[in-house]
Structure 1
């Protein structure tokens, strides 16, 4: 089940986050309200029906892998897969759970491998992952040595997916996801050593406000790791889709890399550097048995796959790192 007991106890010992405890439980209750999420009782029932299995090992460094099939009976494995499938769609991963391979829409492990060489060492760092989805990168950050990882994502289903896996990864593990958006964080926290914002910026109506919010989460000298859609172009270039982009309604601004770095400087970040640019491929984002809705192939023009169905440039993503002042 979704239990924040360990997190609340840990926050008592983090001075910059301790004051948040006065409002956090109420925020969590609102984020997990069945009045907001009509299917929440079904997701909670799936969590409650997960079989009790003790993994023989846990791998978080090179991949996320939990135990093997020999750790469970055939009946337990069938029950496990049945309950995990009730949490469809699985977008971020992949996950290996007692040899059940959750083949997610995104190969988030590929993204992590592109990001990892450019991270300040994560050993003993306090990490925030904004818009973390089901928390794949939270576990990879923990595997890289982070002291504690807090993810935030307003989708209760992604939170349920995270805690389905945490049942087996270990309730005491210092990683949690809160059912919140960044606006729920107290202002000017200056608490985190590393903040991730991956695949969020283009969904924000005001990207500069989002960048300022991200800066306020970081302690002086902390590192921002930002991944977002970009276009080819020079300083000042930015695509503002009037309608949809790749069938997505909520895409507001897609800057060039130079423009994005300029935004970061304008919002007070130091030394912004684009460290990776990667065109999204059908291998990295696609429909699977665990995510049966439309995916990248459906978002591109079938007659001209070098553009979206709306005629925009196809998805290209950049990773930019920067330092809080």
Structure 2
């Protein structure tokens, strides 16, 4: 089994950056990739690579990026041997958290119904056709594929989780030259004031940041003038100025820092220099949208809620409510 050839995989994207006069980012990114894959490789890399290698090679595969389950199919049904290899490979990349996906008729019922979030967000977006897009905290890249399906010129997802990257590669391996890339890096690994993207998405990230205003400023720096920010985050009910800071955990998550009210969030966006910020959706997260499945067998939302009052977390805080806000960089 060959080790993951990161240089061959990421060279096209590094060449793209050089072509966009982003040599500084290309240099920094190369250093980060050397650190991740050569200096400090993850202990599960060989196992994930073996799972990826097990996936059957299918010529003339077609991919549909505009359905609820991003799907790949072939001109003919898989042989029994190919189907067995497919099952082995996809199971080897568990747990699958963001999706759903479908590979040659095998449906991956992910923990999150990420298609529901997309359906809530998509009607309010600027036309994505021809746009260059950044997706911060992209997970396995489900929304990146949907953005490409909506006509984006190029999509760049960033998420430090290496398992997410291998799940992304499972789908990308069946596509030819689709301009979608997933970089296993953090937001702080991007140069300041890139001003490279027409649209930047940050969905499910803000509440994990110790300094939410700094995160908003970082997001603003990625956008060209007139660019659009799509921000989705946990919120609570309350007046302007109100924000919940959990004492320790929220829904069993340790790394939750600030849950603002919607008026407070709009004030944060105004103070960080965004314009025309508006709340386009507020939805409670339910156990129909986030739950354990055969492809993600660990605890999920129902285990994090008060069993006697599911409108509250197990710690007694208001249950998860998510708002989507769209704003522009002047």
**Counterpart contact for 2:48–2:93, Cα < 8 Å:** yes
Return the alpha-carbon distance in structure 1 between the equivalents of residues 217 and 36 of structure 2.
23
Equivalence for 2:168: 162
Structure 1 residue 156: deviation in Å?
A: 0.7
Return the alpha-carbon distance in structure 1 between the equivalents of residues 92 and 214 of structure 2.
36
Unaligned runs of 5+ in 2: none
Return the alpha-carbon distance in structure 2 between the equivalents of residues 250 and 32 of structure 1.
26
CA displacement 1:256-307 (0-9 Å, x = unmatched): 0110111011111111111000000111100000001111110101111110
Kindly report the root-mean-square deviation, in angstroms, between the aligned alpha carbons of the 2 structures.
Answer: 1.5
Structure 1 residue 98: deviation in Å?
A: 0.4
SS at match of 2:228: strand
Question: Across the two proteins, how many residue pairs are aligned to each other?
Answer: 323
Unaligned runs of 5+ in 1: none
Residue 110 of structure 1: which of 108, 116, 121 is its match? 116
Return the alpha-carbon distance in structure 2 between the equivalents of residues 22 and 72 of structure 1.
42
Structure 1 residue 137: deviation in Å?
A: 0.4
Equivalence for 2:324: 319
1:147 aligns with 2:153: yes
1:69 to 1:87, Cα distance in 2 relative to 1, 3 A: farther
Residue 250 of structure 1: which of 237, 247, 255 is its match? 255
Structure 1 residue 14: deviation in Å?
A: 1.9
Return the alpha-carbon distance in structure 1 between the equivalents of residues 143 and 93 of structure 2.
19
Return the alpha-carbon distance in structure 2 between the equivalents of residues 141 and 77 of structure 1.
29
Structure 1 residue 70: deviation in Å?
A: 3.0
Residue 80 of structure 2: which of 74, 78, 82 is its match? 74
Equivalence for 1:269: 274
1:260 aligns with 2:265: yes
Return the alpha-carbon distance in structure 2 between the equivalents of residues 55 and 32 of structure 1.
31
Structure 1 residue 22: deviation in Å?
A: 1.9
**Counterpart contact for 1:31–1:156, Cα < 8 Å:** no
Greater Cα shift, 19-28 or 176-185 = 19-28
Return the alpha-carbon distance in structure 1 between the equivalents of residues 277 and 38 of structure 2.
39
Greater Cα shift, 270-279 or 3-12 = 3-12
Return the alpha-carbon distance in structure 2 between the equivalents of residues 33 and 250 of structure 1.
28
Q: TM-score, normalised by structure 2?
A: 0.94
Alignment of 1:174-323 (within 5 A): 174-323=179-328
